[in-house]
Amino acid sequence: MISRVFQSGWEIAQRWFPDRQIYHRSDGQVRYFEIKTEYQLGALLAATVLTGWLCFATVSVAFQGHRIASRMAEVETIRLEANRMVNEARASELAATNFLDAQMREFDRTAVEFQARHETLRQLIDLAEQMEGSSLSSSPTLGEGRILMAATPADPSQREARDAITLTAYDPNDPEARIEALIAQQDAVLSEAEDASEARLENLRAVLRLTGLRLDDVLEEGRGSETGGPFLAMAEAGPFARAVDPNDAFSSRIARIAARMVEAEEIEAAVLSLPLGEPVGVAFRETSPFGYRIDPFTGRPAFHSGQDFVAYPRAPIVSTGPGRVIYAGWRSGYGRTVEIDHGYGFVTRYGHMTSIDVRRGDQVERGQRIGAMGSTGRSTATHLHYEVIFRNDQTDPERFLRAGQYVQQQG
């Protein structure tokens, strides 16, 4: 069966591709080539295989080219994405570097500011240490034009203390937060110092207000007239010259507080020099106040230039403030008399004493004995005639006694 099929196929091939001869004549000779059916079939098969291979290769190349093009597009996309990510990473790195540089600059600025604050605070503390003020507490306030006195033995209620400084908690591992907390602490301490200096100033002014005298008048007498020299602001000379920047709010605040401290020191020096003590060293009573009265000798109205105090004979008479004795002896109308210059234009006069324990030129302190109570001069009985003189004018001693009682209550 197979042989018959093969035979039939062979016969068909012979009909389509019979044996052929190709003649070639050259130089009078004739040659021929015979191309048999088998060769033609082989050539046809070879051509068919080659054509098929070419078609397959073409299709494969076309298909692979599409795949390669797609792959190349994907690679290009990946490359562009990679470049984008690299650029973003570089931009992030640059931003992080700039942020870090900005943070470092801010940190350096904060550190420099903190150092400057610390230096100005140190200068303020040094100034405060140089000024050993008294322990006067908050001043009496003003209400409706009247001076509200501090607590008295009849009304012993105490003022409430100022609230303690509270600070915001911070992370100890965060340097910037720590610096901010320290700066906040500096501000809190500075506020406390500012309040204290203001309270001290107001308290000292209140003492002078109780005497009925003007602050400027007292300080003008204390400064004297034999002074001069160029004006140099506190922030331009002395310990604050390098630490205080007038264009910085914190430094200006420091300078303002320091100026108040210096002003308070000046006023306190004046207050401590005032005759605010009691002129009798033992229990006494007041008999005749300052001002107009009926004269005990003539029975007619007259001006009483001082205040009278009564105790027992030879009761100790003491200085009401620190100063220098400018007169010790007999004075018409006053009998044995002592006069003490306390500076700032103040002079106290003690009359009718039975004996004098000091001499002219002696330096005395507040509470120091200067003599004994008596009845010398124009006197009706044993007592002390006490005068407070400011700028050669007698003033009411009761005001100074009241101011002295206030100082003692606040001490």
In this prediction, residue 162 carries a pLDDT of: 42
Transcribe 219-251 into DSSP letters.
Answer: HHHHH-SS-------GGGSGGGTTT--TTSHHH
Domain assignment present for 198: yes
In this prediction, residue 106 carries a pLDDT of: 81
Domain boundary among the residues 273, 304, 339 is at 273
Confidence of residue 16 (pLDDT cuts 50, 70, 90): confident
In this prediction, residue 142 carries a pLDDT of: 32
- The answer, yes or no, to whether residue 163 has pLDDT greater than 50, is no
- The answer, yes or no, to whether residue 311 has pLDDT greater than 90, is yes
In this prediction, residue 225 carries a pLDDT of: 46
Residues 247 and 317 occupy one common structural domain: no
Domain assignment present for 251: yes
Residues 126 and 263 occupy one common structural domain: yes
Cβ proximity of 264 and 197 under 8 Å: yes
Domain assignment present for 73: no
Residues 248 and 119 occupy one common structural domain: yes
Cβ proximity of 276 and 385 under 8 Å: no
- The answer, yes or no, to whether residue 303 has pLDDT greater than 80, is yes
Domain assignment present for 215: yes
Tokens (6 digits) for 221: 């007498």
> Which of 46-60, 144-158, 220-234, 240-254 is predicted with the least confidence, judged by mean pLDDT?
144-158
Q: How far is CA 72 from CA 61, 68, 86, 87, in A?
A: 15, 6, 20, 22
- The answer, yes or no, to whether residue 22 has pLDDT greater than 80, is no
Domain containing residue 359: CATH number: 2.70.70.10
CA atoms of 43 and 37, how far apart (whole Å): 10
pTM given for the model? 0.58
Domain assignment present for 303: yes
Residues 318 and 257 occupy one common structural domain: no
CA atoms of 7 and 42, how far apart (whole Å): 17
Domain boundary among the residues 244, 273, 302 is at 273
Residues 268 and 299 occupy one common structural domain: no
Region 72-88: mean pLDDT is: 91
- The answer, yes or no, to whether residue 133 has pLDDT greater than 70, is no
Name the packing angle between helices 37-130 and 2-16 (round to 10°). 90
Residues 393 and 249 occupy one common structural domain: no
For 227-282, write each residue's pLDDT tens digit. Answer: 444 444 544 445 555 555 555 677 777 778 878 888 888 888 888 888 999 999 99
Domain assignment present for 327: yes
**34 beta partners:** 21
In this prediction, residue 147 carries a pLDDT of: 32
Residues 294 and 321 occupy one common structural domain: yes
Confidence of residue 168 (pLDDT cuts 50, 70, 90): low
For 101-125, write each residue's pLDDT tens digit. Answer: 988 888 777 777 777 777 777 777 7
Confidence of residue 138 (pLDDT cuts 50, 70, 90): very low
Domain boundary among the residues 273, 305, 320 is at 273
Region 168-197: mean pLDDT is: 73
Q: How many other CB atoms are found less than 10 A from the CB of residue 17?
A: 17
Residues 144 and 234 occupy one common structural domain: yes
How many domains is the chain built from? 2
Average per-residue pLDDT for the chain:
78
Non-local CB neighbours of 381 within 8 Å, separated by 6+ positions: 310, 375
Confidence of residue 159 (pLDDT cuts 50, 70, 90): very low
What is the radius of gyration, based on Cα positions, of the chain?
57
In this prediction, residue 161 carries a pLDDT of: 38
In this prediction, residue 365 carries a pLDDT of: 94
Residues 261 and 374 occupy one common structural domain: no
Region 24-38: mean pLDDT is: 76
- The answer, yes or no, to whether residue 328 has pLDDT greater than 80, is yes
Residues 251 and 193 occupy one common structural domain: yes
Domain assignment present for 72: no
Host domain of residue 199 = 114-154+162-273
Domain assignment present for 89: no
The top-scoring range by mean pLDDT among 139-153, 184-198, 232-246, 313-327 is 313-327
In this prediction, residue 91 carries a pLDDT of: 92
Residues 356 and 226 occupy one common structural domain: no
For 203-215, write each residue's pLDDT tens digit. Answer: 888 887 888 888 7
Residues 196 and 345 occupy one common structural domain: no
Measured at the CA of 61, the angle between CA 55 and CA 62, to 5 degrees, comes to 90
